[in-house]
Structure 1
Amino acid sequence: MSCEFKWPRLLGGSGTGIAYGGDYNPDQWPESIWAEDIRLMRKANVNVVALGIFSWDRIQPAEHEWDFGWLDRIIGMLGDAGISVDLASATASAPLWLYEQYPQVLPRDKFGHAINAGSRQSWSASSPVFREHALELCNRLASRYGDNPTVTAWHVGNEYGWNNRHDYSDDALEAFRAWCERKYGSVDRLNEAWCSAFWSQEVHSFREVLLPRHMGADSMVNPAQQLDFERFSNDALLDFYRAERDEIARICPGKPITTNFMVSTDQCAMDYSQWAKAVDFVSNDHYFHEGESHLDELLCSDSLVWSLARGNPWYLMEHSTSNVQWKPVNARKCNGELMRDALAHVAMGADAINFFQWRQSRGGAEAFHSAMLPHAGADTKVFRQVCETGQVLKDLSERRVAGTKVTPSRVAILFDAQSQWSTEIPTLPTTKLDHWHDVRDWYRAFLDAGMRADVVPLAYEWEQYDLLVLPTIFMLSDDAVHRIEHYVNNGGSIVVGYATGIVNDSFQVGLGGYPGAGNGLLRRMLGVSGEEFNIVGVPGADDVVELTDGEVSNLWQTCLTRIADDAQVLASYTGAGALTWELEGMAAIVSHDYGAGHTWYVGCDLRRQDITHLICEQLVPCLGIELGNPGIVTIDRTDGTHVFRCRLNRSGNDVSLRLNPGIVPEGMLLIRGDCEGERVTLRSNGILIEQIHTDV
């Protein structure tokens, strides 16, 4: 069942505007400081907090003992201050008494070891015992607070799959067997999909289906079995979320419900194209990548979240004011990055900007994770920046930015979570494939060319785009290939990457040449056929292969041995590396007309600057797209009457630009920049937001 879009209201006034706040954990602090917390929240223009995410033990200190008094008091205080509450189901971390009394709820790793309590999510999604206790908690919370006007939304669970994505317990085994039976219906169909005849792995009943547990130090798991286990693991957690959601919605059906995704280009574990259908509004936790990729990676991840939300506003549930504490080296934010990041999320469609967390913890695993109110207190640079950001978001709310929608690009880069799982299989031609990172590299290359692309799930609608890019979508189902063929045949254009369409959705290789997806249909569209993969990087051999147009490949080259008569070779291999690997003169990049559309096949990995060159020299001229300044990212949000145009400096240097002539009076917000007449100079991390009449 798909949920209809519902957005949580704020307290007071029209109930609309940009939500601003963060996780609040008052149960970790003495009640004597709660009033001071709320005073400082109001100073920072905080209007929402996520409450009770890890509070199960405080709510239920023993199996038959409940304590809601403290929660009643803090919800009352927040409501009196005009701060709405996104109330958690509190099931992310169970209390120790539950683990002690019911150790069977613990998940197990592939070696059979229990994932012990002491961290987060030390529970099995397949455990009926854990589900019973979790749903009782959901029931009691919903019954007590469902009609409370301060509680305007429900936050179910927290970052599902963070610590229990893969569970190899006996409960999971039973659930996996039932999942396989529902999917395949018969063992014959399962054996065919899994190619079980290989290594004598045929099953004769679903009771013989196994989890891909540890099989020895150098064992190789059946990739089709592994992929189905990934799918099952996603579905088991999604089913658990739905059970919590439905228990709450049954009691208070009018309030929107969400759970926070984890989308960044180093974490996107779940198939969120499925999860997005099960929430009333999409929310995400995003943590920055330090260094020169910081802003680009944020925009790329946000683009996928915006697509998952189907263009509706989405909710940034967590990001950081500065350092985190879980990387080897934890860089802080500086030079305006706190404000810049918040406004970049808004530009990409977020109508809620929230941090983990309000008050920085004095102990525990996240004591050195930054917060809105740091260890050093309110008289600090971080808190002053938090207050400044809150004021800017309040100003944008008064201009009615909230509720406007991001204007799409004409180009979509397709992402598929299940194909990402397939590139993590260890028995591929190389273990260096990474679909999601290739999406990021293409996204950044488009920015380097002076335009912004959208990142769209393969399972979603993308027929409205002029150009599709398929980077390392290793696994393509027959249905997906036929859908792509229909798109191209009717005038669409596609770019297919070197490791795309190698296997189908059962991880079976398409025969007759590479790429074999769709029983050869993908090859016919592209006008190419390959017979081997050349993987470079072998010690003592040439580790790069040059192309005739000056580009360089350093990982993978598909050995194309047949090119259609009506295809055009745009670049071939040349140089010492090509001679070493017997690639000299072999086609690398091929262009082909198909039906009313056009295709490009990129048969090798390319550096980001080489992808940018391809975009500028081949793709853009065919599409007639106007390129902008590569140092500036331009993103429009519109309500049909006005355009809010956000321009972000991604260059690291000063960038000069001209104001739009249609800007309304008082319709400009300039941060880290200088204005002289009709020109603006944006400094590093500078932001310009213009409010423009659409009829100018």
Structure 2
Amino acid sequence: MYDAQAGSNACRPFRWPNLLNDSGRGLGYGGDYNPDQWPESVWDDDIRLMRQARVNMVSLAIFSWDRIQPSEDVWDFDWLDRIIDKLGKAGIAVDLASATASAPMWLYAKHPEVLPVEADGTVVHAGSRQSWRPTSPVYRQYALEVCRRLAERYGDNPYVTAWHVGNEYGWNNAVDYSPDAQRAFREWCRERYGDVQHVNEAWGAAFWSQEVRSFDEIDVPRHMGNDAMANPSKQLDFTRFCSDALRTFYMAERDVIASICPDKPITTNFMVSTDQCAVDYAAWSKEVDFVSNDHYFTAGEAHLDELACSDSLVSGFADGNPWCLLEHSTSAVQWKPINSRKRSGELMRDALSHVAFGADSINFFQWRQSRSGAEAFHSAMVPHAGENTTVFNEVCELGKTLRILGDAGLQGSTVRPSDVAILFSADAEWATRSQTLPTTRLSHWHGIREWYRALLDIGVRADVVPLAQDWEGYRTVILPTMLTLADADVRRFAAFVQSGGRMVVDYATGLVDESFHVGLGGYPGCGGGLLREMLGVRGEEINILGPVDGEFDLVRLSNGTVSRLWQNVVTSVADDATVVAYYDGVEAREWELQGVPAIVRHPYGEGETYYVGCDLNLDDLASVIGSEAFAEVSAQVGDPRFIRVARDTECGSFDFLFNRQSQPVTVKPDPAWATVLLEHRCRRLDDGTIELDRNGAIVAMDGV
């Protein structure tokens, strides 16, 4: 059953899967392999092409439950035995899945009570992925039996070097409003609060007569009508519960496998990109032996920047250890409204970018492009057109490159930190989804992406770090749209700044606590006024702009920048604060904001804070950060045309340089480069510089 106290503050020790070479080391390379979707006559050709591409690992049997257990009393492992043996003898390690991401149709037919339920009571029917409730005792029983049988059969198989539990938990069942979920939510609340009156206090249940007198009266926040607004405190707790419920289910699967074969590392694939935050990965990262992620590119000019931002957070979840990219695409996907393909050189550039940010294994979905099914037009390593294709040639080129980097000793090196950290919190992201805020156009994660890109535009590469982890060693810490902050968080910030740190806080940060209670006394109110004291500001109202007939939909600042959504009406600043910019102009006068402080700098203890009290677009944000007033935000200012990342070893470092531009750029070789391992889409010019084309990259080694 559901365990509300699953997990702990302790992390599982980092363990990395071996490859099937003499040393067991090197960079992993491969992808999801679904041989059960093809005739066996194709398998030998798959192995031939894998060797040609230098594939050395595959994820196997992710959605193969119905082939492994075709009916309740029939088990078939023979086909899996044969393909694992073929792969292993070819030197290809297997990351074996628990096969439980989706159940066979016979299970759904026999036990429809395992199906999730949407907020309006609609049953999520079978036929896609993850059509199951994590709180269903019936589904758990069947799933754990599959885990047990797989572990007993393959736990000692030398070709199986890692376990892949589940798949993208929360993709189709991130929330569930079923009776099972309701029972588990009541248990979760009992464990979290102890006394039902504490629930009423946390949820502000006196509003709209929502108080409960026993835990048995607690309901999940189902659909309450088109105009009804869910209690934001309860909704935030329910979202936390849903993440915990999925994590508990994963841990049950993991523990069955680990009890039988404890010597092989176990992971599951996260889904970290700046368009999604299904579960609290900071908590999940403690429960895997190595962090894995699936990342799919954002088309357009933000492609590389978004990838770097997402990867930086994955590296943060991995706590500096190497991580595994379990899925990305060779070219276009099939699940977006517009599915752009990758341009020439992007396959290599993207893979190297993941490596630069800490990935020691690069894998695609999937090996061979499907002929049928929902993902038939999702690109793959072997496309529909076969091996004599641009995509497969680039797949082979990437395999050679990863072999070179692995042989050079890249595996196990660590990403060199920046001196700037942008903090991430799942609670903050979930809180910005509330429909009861001054505007519904907030996103903590998108705010992080904008700050990350703005910093790149002035030549600063930041790290993205989970709020719950250690960030005190950074010189500058940035909080974008971190709507919810606990008192303990604010005290931690105060100690950081008092001891000499620098903190940048934006307009929608620190308005509510972890229970979604508004801090009183003026904005931002978190920490009982401590956050206001640190920032040296006090606001009374929030001015929201939008497309309202006859009203200005922007406000200008005295520094030439423009705000288009949100302005905090700051009515007082500390005597020792400096107003960096204020609202100014005809629009400001119309909105009664003329002269109101917009950006404020304030000394606090041995450090200082910056308060950006309004939204700014990317260009304006970059101009503010790059201005003289922010001149000390970072000492690592570089060339904004590039993303530069280093991975350090005891014997030296690997230097990665990526062209951010859509046109060629030139760079002088760094004198510290002892060896240039790769020049991707580059050319040497007569003056000794290197020209990087669009999607160009350089990987070099520095000597010690």
Give TM class, smaller chain. over 0.9
Q: Amino acid of the residue matched to residue 33 of structure 1?
A: V
CA distance in structure 1 between the aligned counterparts of 2:266 and 2:126, rounded to whole angstroms: 27
The Cα offsets for residues 277-304 of structure 1, whole Å up to 9 and x where unpaired, read as 0000000000000110000000000000
Which of 664, 667, 683 aligns to 1:657? It is 667
Measure how far apart 1:668 and its partner are: 3.3
Instruction: State the distance in 2 between where 1:337 and 1:210 align.
Output: 48
Question: What's 1:566 paired with?
Answer: 576
Partner of 2:613: 603
User: What is the CA–CA distance in structure 2 between the aligned matches of 1:659 and 1:620, rounded to whole Å?
Assistant: 30
* Distance apart, 1:620 and its partner CA: 5.2
Could you tell me whether the CA contact under 8 Å between 1:660 and 1:692 is conserved in 2? Answer: no
Report whether the alignment pairs 1:103 with 2:112: yes
Residues 624 and 56 of structure 1: CA distance in aligned 2, closer, same or farther (over 3 Å): closer
User: Equivalent residue of 1:364, what SS?
Assistant: coil
- Does structure 2 conserve the Cα–Cα contact (< 8 Å) formed by 1:542 and 1:576? no
Instruction: Tell me how far 1:350 sits from its aligned partner.
Output: 0.4
Q: Secondary structure at the match of 1:557?
A: strand
Contact 1:416–1:473 at 8 Å: present in 2 too?
yes
Pair 1:617 & 2:650 matched: no
For 1:240 and 1:662, the matched residues in 2 are separated by 49
CA distance in 2, matches of 1:519, 1:363: 58
2:3 is matched with which residue? Answer: none
CA distance in 2, matches of 1:596, 1:648: 37
For residues 493-520 of structure 1, the C-alpha deviation after alignment (integer angstroms, 9 at most, x for no partner) is 0000000000000000000000000011
1:486 aligned onto 2:495:
yes
Alpha-carbon distance, 1:640 to partner? 2.4
Query: Hey, what's the Cα distance between the residues in 1 that align with 2:634 and 2:267?
Result: 40
Per the alignment, residue 294 of structure 1 pairs with: 303
Give the drift of 1:619: 6.4
Deviates more, 1:639-648 or 1:492-501: 639-648
1:565 maps to a residue whose letter is D
The runs of at least 4 aligned residues of structure 1 exceeding 3 Å deviation read none
Q: CA deviation at 1:663?
A: 2.4
Query: 2:296 is matched by which residue type in structure 1?
Result: Y
Residue number in structure 2 paired with 1:444 = 453
- For 1:30 and 1:618, the matched residues in 2 are separated by 65
Q: How does 1:301-380 map to 2 (within 5 A)?
A: 301-380=310-389
**Whole-angstrom CA distance in 1 between matches of 2:632 and 2:337:** 45
Query: Partners in 1 of 2:79 and 2:333 — Cα distance?
Result: 29
**Structure 2 counterpart of 1:460:** 469
Contact (CA 8 Å) 1:493, 1:597: kept in 2 or not? yes
Aligned equivalent of 1:227: 236
Distance 1:203 1:238 in 2: 28
Counterpart position of 1:627: 637
Partner Cα separation in structure 2 for residue 517 and residue 406 of structure 1: 34
In the alignment, structure 1 residue 215 sits paired with structure 2 residue 228: no
Aligned match of 1:5 in 2, 10, 14?
Answer: 14
Secondary structure at 1:196 match in 2: coil
What is the SS of the residue equivalent to 1:171? helix
Partner of 2:261: 252
Rate the CA distance shift 1:619–1:469 in 2: closer, same or farther, 3 A.
Answer: farther
Which is further off, 324-333 or 656-665? 656-665
Preserved CA contact (<8 Å) 2:419 2:634: no
- Deviation at 1:266? 0.4
Secondary structure, aligned partner of 2:311? helix
Aligned to 1:550: 560
- Indicate how the Cα distance of structure 1 residues 619 and 141 shifts in structure 2: closer, same or farther if over 3 A, else same: farther
Residue 5 of structure 2 corresponds to none
Change (3 A) 1:408 1:298: same
Gaps of 5+ in 2: 1-7
**Secondary structure of residue in 2 paired with 1:368:** coil
Aligned 8 A contact 1:496 1:602 in 2: yes
Larger mean CA deviation between 538-547 and 89-98 belongs to: 538-547
**Offset at residue 624 of structure 1 (A):** 5.7
Q: Is the Cα–Cα contact under 8 Å of residues 18 and 161 in structure 2 kept in the other structure?
A: yes
Alpha-carbon RMSD across the aligned residues, in angstroms, is: 0.9
One-letter amino acid of the counterpart of residue 457, structure 1: P
Match of 1:61 in 2: 70
Tell me if the contact between 2:476 and 2:634 (Cα under 8 Å) persists in the aligned partners.
no
Task: State the TM-score, normalized to the length of structure 2.
Answer: 0.98
Counterpart-to-counterpart distance in 2, 1:578 and 1:328:
38
Offset of 1:453 from its aligned partner? 0.3
Correspondences of 1:36-47 after superposition (within 5 Å): 36-47=45-56
CA distance in 1 between partners of 2:689 and 2:648 (Å): 23
1:50 aligns with 2:62: no
Q: How far apart in 1 are the matches of 2:518 and 2:277?
A: 25
List aligned pairs for 1:535-546, cutoff 5 A: 535-537=544-546, 538-546=548-556
Deviations 1:213-264 (A, max 9, x none): 0111111110010001000000000000000000000000000000000000
Contact 2:422 2:479 in 1 (8 A): yes
Q: How far does residue 623 in structure 1 lie from its aligned partner after superposition?
A: 4.5
SS in structure 2 at match of 1:647: strand
Change (3 A) 1:58 1:626: closer
Q: Following TM superposition, by how much is the alpha carbon of 1:662 offset from its aligned partner in structure 2, in angstroms?
A: 2.8
TM-score (norm 1): 0.99
The DSSP-based 3-state class of the residue aligned with 2:632 is helix
Q: Distance in 1 between matches of 2:553 and 2:329?
A: 39
Distance of 2:210 and 2:350 partners within structure 1: 51
Alignment correspondent of 1:94: 103
Following the alignment from structure 1 to structure 2, what is the Cα–Cα distance between the partners of residues 629 and 478?
39
Which residue in the other structure is 2:392 paired with?
Answer: 383
Aligned-pair distance for 1:454?
0.3
Q: Residue 626 of structure 2 aligns to a residue in which SS?
A: helix
Aligned to 2:4: none
Q: Relative to 1, partners in 2 of residues 1:620 and 1:644: Cα closer, same or farther, differing over 3 Å?
A: farther
**Cα distance in 2 for residues equivalent to 1:669 and 1:380:** 23
Q: Offset at 1:375?
A: 0.5
Match for residue 278 of structure 2 among 253, 266, 269: 269
